[in-house]
Amino acid sequence: MHRRHLLRIAGLAAATPLARPFLAGFPSGDGVKVDPATLPRAPLRLAPRLRGPALVLRAQERVVEIAPGVKARAWTPGDGPVGPTIEARKGEKLNIALENALPEPTILHWHGLRVPEAADGHPRLAIEPGSRYDYEIPVIDRAGTYWYHSHAHHRTGIQSYRGMSGFFLVRDEHDDALKLPSGVHELPMLIQDRRLANDGTLVYDPMMHENMEGFFGDAAFVNGIRLPMHEVETTTYRLRLANGCTSRILRLALSNGAPFLMVGTDGGLLPRAESLTSIDLGPGERVDVLADFAAVPVGQTVSLVSQAFENPAMGMMGMGMGGRGMGGGPGRMGAGGIPQGGALPLVEFRVARAVAPQPWRAPALLHPERFPVRQAVRTRTFRFESMRMQHTINGRDFDMARIDESVPFGDTEIWQFVNPSPFPHPIHVHENQFEVVERIGGRGRIMPWERGLKDTVLVMPGEQVNVRLTFDVYRGRFLMHCHNLIHEDMGMMLNFAVE
Ligand code: C2O
Ligand code: CU
Ligand code: CU
């Protein structure tokens, strides 16, 4: 166990009377010891839904229950352990006031939505404690599973981890017309991995090797609740899944081997539904799937899990970084997290009630529009490198004031994302939904969940992924970065100006 942990736990144990009610905190808290391994599952909670036209999000520290009897201090723009779900219809205009009652600067970014420069949450727009930021957001994007999170300078990782993140769902007439499962049968689930130490604190303290590969929790939290369970009926559910993890890639699957019917990705509905037994999601990516419990006998459980896969860093580096030589073995509580590629249970669905199943039948065409067929007039190449304790794009790290690329308004371009490093890089472009056109090396093909509109794409070690994008909505300064939030906070990010 790392020395810092020993000191922390020893200090707490000495200071804490045994009978005190449990209270966990960041980064240190007082509390009795809890064994995370024996905690029962807590009911899944859905974040409260907020609708416009005028919303106030007050970011503050709150004590929230994250597991049965376990309280933690969250930083959240709502009442729960993560932010509320904002719901809007395409064509609406939203006014969102962010009030900062946190002890440090913050700002929110609406991931996947195309918004004016002033509403995009660039870190230079971060507001001091006690101030407020007024966003004006014309919702021009089509129905989809978008989300929001902190984009504070060097603090995106820790703030998003503590709860400064939530869903932003957009609906429109195409989505309505499909009559997908709705109401209690629609479950937005923001998946994060966090580290619950055995002194009860939620830990975010990347050590040296974690500043390279990434920071991994020892358990999944869904909508801010650790390892939840949810009672379901014998029918079809719409699961809107977001990978809100700091660094972890998820290989989503159902424990009974049943397929998902995938209907949408980052930027909304796919042209066609597709049946898949597993889906890989890098940090920042989302997928919209149907899960059918009609054939599961009442009383049984089916879990949403992240399946094990080979840690891509291991293949590239042997037993080096990926092998978690420090901080104990995989899943060791309060020390290291479960390494990249480790199996992770997410949500347990308990089939509690039989109902007449309402099977959902996919039409041949889910969504009429595909990508605009436009010739790219320019190619840019970006190399994502991780070495000597640095994460860079084309050899440089982020400079708030420097414009790295100037993109002519209205042009269509090919951006080539090249990953010569030993770590996966999920690459995200603000202000855009792009088309993945080619993957060279590594997996060598476009994955089924990459066929729709995307704003984030996973580039594995040794891969090059080419995307086609057009910036024809707003001019201004926007960001492109790695969505491994450790890498982003350390500078794997750049500014581009659409002008
Ligand atoms: Cu979801 Cu700039 O990030
Ligand atoms: Cu974004
Ligand atoms: Cu990265």
Ligand nearest to the CA of 391: 3
Q: Residue range 293-297: average pLDDT?
A: 96
Give 324 or 220, the one with higher predicted confidence: 220
Contact 267, 454 (CB under 8 A): yes
Is the CB of 428 within 6 Å of ligand 1?
yes
CB 157 within 8 A of CB 215: yes
Instruction: Name which residue leads in pLDDT, 372 or 209.
Output: 209
Average pLDDT, the chain: 89
The answer to whether the CB of 391 is under 6 A from ligand 1 is: no
At 37 the pLDDT is 76
Give Rg (Cα) of the chain. Answer: 22
Structure tokens at 176: 């309505």
- Residue 425 in contact with ligand 1 by CB distance below 6 A: no
What is the pLDDT, as a whole number, of residue 440?
Answer: 98
Work out the average pLDDT over 231-252. 98
Residue 21 pLDDT exceeds 50? no
Atom of ligand 1 nearest to the CA of 493: 2
pLDDT tens-digit map of 432-489:
999 999 999 999 999 999 999 999 999 999 999 999 999 999 999 999 999 999 999 9
Q: How far apart are CA 336 and CA 196, in angstroms?
A: 10
Q: Dihedral through CA 333, CA 306, CA 417, CA 489, nearest 10? A: -30
Question: What pTM was estimated for this model as a whole?
Answer: 0.91
Q: Residue 312: in which H helix or E strand, if any?
A: helix 312-317
Secondary structure (DSSP) of 417-443: EE--SSS-EEEEETT--BEEEEEESTT
Q: Cα(113) to centroid of ligand 1, in Å?
A: 10
pLDDT at 315 over 80: no
Q: Does ligand 1 have an atom closer than 6 angstroms to the CB of 151?
A: yes
Question: What spacing in Å lies between the alpha carbon of 149 and ligand 2's midpoint?
Answer: 9
Q: What is the pLDDT of residues 131-150, one digit of tens each?
A: 999 999 999 999 999 999 99
**pLDDT reported for residue 197:** 76
Q: Is 481 in the pocket of ligand 1 (CB under 6 A)?
A: yes
Q: What pLDDT score does 209 carry?
A: 87
What is the per-residue DSSP string for 125-153? G-B-TT-EEEEEEE--SPSEEEEEEE--T
- Which ligand is located closest to the Cα atom of residue 164? 1
Beta carbons within 8 Å of 484's beta carbon, 6+ residues apart: 214, 246, 247, 283, 423, 424, 425, 426, 492
Ligand 1 contact, 111 CB (< 6 A): yes
| Whether the predicted pLDDT of 371 surpasses 90 | no
* Residue identifier of the C-alpha nearest atom 1 of ligand 1: 111
Q: What is the mean pLDDT of residues 380-403?
A: 96
- How many Å apart are CA 51 and CA 61, to the nearest integer? 23
Question: 209 in ligand 1 pocket by Cβ < 6 Å?
Answer: no
> What pLDDT is attached to residue 6?
33
Instruction: Report the separation in Å between the CA atom of 156 and the middle of ligand 2, taken as the mean of its atom positions.
Output: 12
Q: What number of other Cβ atoms are within 10 A of residue 128's Cβ?
A: 10
Q: How far is the CA of 484 from the centre of ligand 3 (A)?
A: 5
For residue 170, report the distance from its CA to the centre of ligand 2, in Å.
15
Report the atom number in ligand 1 closest to the C-alpha of 456: 1
Q: Half-sphere exposure of residue 309, counting CA atoms within 13 Å on the CB side?
A: 16
Nearest ligand to residue 424 Cα = 3
| Ligand 2 center from residue 489 Cα (angstroms) | 14
284 lines ligand 1 (CB under 6 A): yes
pLDDT value, residue 70: 87
Give the residue with greater pLDDT, 10 vs 72.
72
Q: Where does 101-244 show beta strands of DSSP type E?
A: 108-111, 132-138, 144-150, 165-171, 186-196, 202-203, 219-222, 225-226, 229-233, 236-243
pLDDT digits 0-9 by tens, 99-130 = 999 999 999 999 999 999 999 999 999 999 99
Q: What pLDDT score does 71 carry?
A: 87
* Residues of the chain above pLDDT 90, percent: 79
Q: Which residue's CA is the nearest one to ligand 1's atom 3?
A: 111
Predicted confidence at residue 306, as pLDDT, reads 98
Give which of 428, 436, 422, 405 is closest to 481, Cα–Cα.
Answer: 428
Residue for token pair 């089916």: 302
Judging by beta carbons within 10 Å of its beta carbon (0-12, 13-18, 19+), is residue 60 exposed, middle or buried? Answer: middle
Q: How confident is the model at residue 288 (pLDDT cuts 50, 70, 90)?
A: very high
Ligand 1: which atom is nearest the Cα of residue 121?
A: 2
In order of 155, 306, 458, 488, the CA distances from 212 in angstroms are 17, 23, 17, 11
Predicted local distance difference test score (pLDDT) of residue 380: 98
Is residue 122 within 6 Å of ligand 1 at its C-beta? no
What pLDDT score was predicted for residue 409? 97
| Segment 239-243 mean pLDDT | 98
Quick: pLDDT tens for 487-497: 999 999 999 99
Q: Is the pLDDT of residue 320 over 70?
A: no
For residue 59, what pLDDT is reported?
A: 98
User: From CA 236, how far away is CA 108, in angstroms rounded?
Assistant: 33
Ligand 1 contact, 121 CB (< 6 A): no
* CA nearest to 88, candidates 64, 120, 55, 60: 55
The rounded Å distance from CA 356 to ligand 1 centre is: 41
Give the per-residue pLDDT at 200: 67
Q: Tell me, in angstroms, the distance from the centre of ligand 3 to residue 304's CA.
A: 26
Residue 131 Cα to ligand 1 middle (Å): 22
d(CA 361, CA 176): 14
